Amino acid sequence: MPRPTTRRATTAVRRAVTALGPGLPAAGCGGLQSALDPAGPRAERIAEVWWTMFWAGGGILLLVVLLALWSLVRRRPSPGFKAPPMIIGGGLLLPVLALTALLLYGYRIGALHEAPAATRLTVNVIGQRFWWRVQYPGTAVETAGELRIPAGEPVEVRLNTVDVIHSFWVPRLAGKLDLIPGRENRLWIEASEPGVFRGQCAEFCGAGHARMVLVVVAEPRARFDDWLAGQDAAAAQTVGPGLDAFQEAGCGGCHRIRGSAAAGRAGPDLTHVGGRWALTARLAPVPADTLAEWILASHWSLPADDRRGLERLNATELRTLADYLGSLR
Ligand code: CUA
């Protein structure tokens, strides 16, 4: 049991290092996205490794600095000082023992990241430049940039990509795993409590890489089940001027609105887009104050030909389109 003063010092160091989050490679970006602020058992183990490495590395650094200072102060070797024991002990045995201990420790923790005994939910996450397609097998539900999960249970995430290598990373919930063309990777994430957690593509995948954000919303099981059932239903409105504008602009070529004539699969499914907690493309370069502006801004990365239909809409048509999408809850 550490003494209160020791514990206070430890907490102070933890706070200082956590606050430095963005500058630390392991830390992600603080706040919603810090590996040092774990929100689930799997992320807690990773934070534990980080702190163990921090204290072990810090101790060795301190020892080396003290020895260097001592040699500066002494200037000459003390009588009886022999170089070989120092070289064998400090240069060979100490690194071998320290690195072996850390390696074994790392293996033990790594084994804890394997599949849990049982999972009630599996989701497919598909990387696509520059957004995340999220599917719930066994249902028609598909979202973009938003992953809803039940809190308090492990969720299996199956990772695939349709183009280049991306990397799935929700620092507060689990480790990082790449999405590799032609191969399915599996990862388990878990949030102990309901909450909102930010994820980020962690492998450079092109001009939109930094904007390839994912929001994970963890909810109590019952609420999650309600949400999933609601999302599984067809769109609330599948005819009318809003959908006409949508089809005239060619949006239906890429986007699907289940129950309507729009059945495109290249872009995000918009069946319930109005009720989505987050729109990835809110991070588009243009300040998007309205859904209409967001629609234009979010298509920045597409080839000019794919944007043309959308850009042909006048302000009124765009407003009609935006109101329609906003009504799809
Ligand atoms: Cu996808 Cu970086």
Helix, strand, coil percentages (3-state) for the chain, rounded to 5, are 45, 20, 40
* Each residue's pLDDT tens digit, 251-273: 999 999 999 999 999 989 999 88
Percent of the chain with pLDDT over 70: 86
Residue 282: the pLDDT is: 45
The response to whether residue 201 sits with its C-beta less than 6 Å from ligand 1 reads yes
Is the separation of the CB atoms in 272 and 231 below 8 Å? yes
**Can you read off the two tokens belonging to residue 138?**
């066994």
Indicate the angle between helix axes 41-74 and 94-111, nearest 10 degrees.
Answer: 170
Q: Is residue 25 predicted with pLDDT exceeding 50?
A: no
Q: How far, in Å, is the centroid of ligand 1 from the Cα of 175? A: 16
Mean pLDDT of the chain: 84
The response to whether residue 212 sits with its C-beta less than 6 Å from ligand 1 reads yes
Please state the φ and ψ torsions of residue 55, each to the nearest 5 degrees.
-70, -40
Q: Is residue 295 predicted with pLDDT exceeding 60?
A: yes
Q: Is residue 17 predicted with pLDDT exceeding 50?
A: no
Cis preceding linkage at 130, omega within 30: yes
Q: Give the position, in ligand 1's atom list, of the atom nearest the Cα of 130.
A: 1
Residue 86: the pLDDT is: 80
Q: Is residue 78 predicted with pLDDT exceeding 60?
A: yes
Q: How far, in Å, is the centroid of ligand 1 from the Cα of 36? A: 22
Q: How far, in Å, is the centroid of ligand 1 from the Cα of 123? A: 19
Residue 1: the pLDDT is: 38
In the numeric block, the tokens 């160091």 are attached to: 13
The response to whether residue 166 sits with its C-beta less than 6 Å from ligand 1 reads yes
Residue 97: the pLDDT is: 92
Residue 164: the pLDDT is: 96
Burial class (CB in 10 A: 0-12, 13-18, 19+), 306: middle
Least confident of 85-94, 180-189, 287-296, 297-306: 287-296
Per-residue burial over 36-46, b = 16 or more CB atoms within 10 Å of its CB, e = otherwise: bbbbbbbbebb
Indicate the angle between helix axes 315-327 and 241-248, nearest 10 degrees.
Answer: 120
Q: How far, in Å, is the centroid of ligand 1 from the Cα of 144? A: 14
Beta-bridged to residue 185, according to DSSP, are 159
3-state secondary structure 303-315: CHHHHHHHHHCCH
**Can you read off the two tokens belonging to residue 220?**
């109590």
pTM to 2 decimal places: 0.81
Q: How many residues does the chain have?
A: 329
Residue 276: the pLDDT is: 74
Beta-bridged to residue 131, according to DSSP, are 128
What Å distances lie between residue 64 and 60, 61, 80, 85, 92, CA to CA? Answer: 6, 5, 21, 16, 14
Q: How far, in Å, is the centroid of ligand 1 from the Cα of 297? A: 19
Q: Is residue 100 predicted with pLDDT exceeding 90?
A: yes
Please state the φ and ψ torsions of residue 260, each to the nearest 5 degrees.
-110, 180
